[in-house]
Amino acid sequence: MVYRVIYISSSRRVQSNAEIDVILRKSQENNHRAGLTGLLIYDGKRFFQYLEGEEAQVRRTLARIRADERHYALVVLSEKETDRRQFGQWSMAGHYMSPGENLEQCVERLTTGCDPHVAAELRGFATVRTHAA
């Protein structure tokens, strides 16, 4: 079984593309060592992440993420066991959205090849987020 967490959080300030690149590179290094995979999207205001792997590693990583001062108001949208990895090819796939880009479309594109139920769940969260903005 694979444990996974989906969360959203608010950025304390706008992060530049270069800063997001640093976050992604560090996440990829840490996740590779911990055997984690996932997806991180930054829309200029919020981080949206899907993190998967062995439960203890996911929980340790989530605790480290919660303590990161670059964001606040972290809300876990979903947390559960699943039967397979969805982003096994990515230690951390990342995407920072350009102005005017739609989170729903971004999630749709990045979840191609995922289990249809997982992709629909992620698109649902993205839809709610888009309409709440």
Q: Is residue 132 part of a domain?
A: no
Rounded Cα–Cα distance for residues 8 and 41 (Å): 9
For position 55, which CATH number holds?
A: 3.30.70.100
Determine, yes or no, domain membership for 26. Answer: yes
77 within domain boundaries = yes
Q: Look up the pTM and report it.
A: 0.84
The count of structural domains within the chain is 1
Question: Residue 11 phi/psi, 5° resolution?
Answer: -75, 140
Contact 111, 38 (CB under 8 A): no
Q: Could you report the per-residue pLDDT of 76-122, keeping only the tens digit for each?
A: 999 999 999 988 776 666 666 767 777 788 888 888 888 888 888 88
Q: Does residue 126 form part of some domain?
A: no
Give the structural domain span for 76: 2-100
Q: Is residue 50 part of a domain?
A: yes
Inside any domain, residue 110: no
Q: Mind listing the pLDDT tens digit for each residue in 30-72?
A: 888 999 998 888 888 888 889 999 999 999 999 999 999 989 9
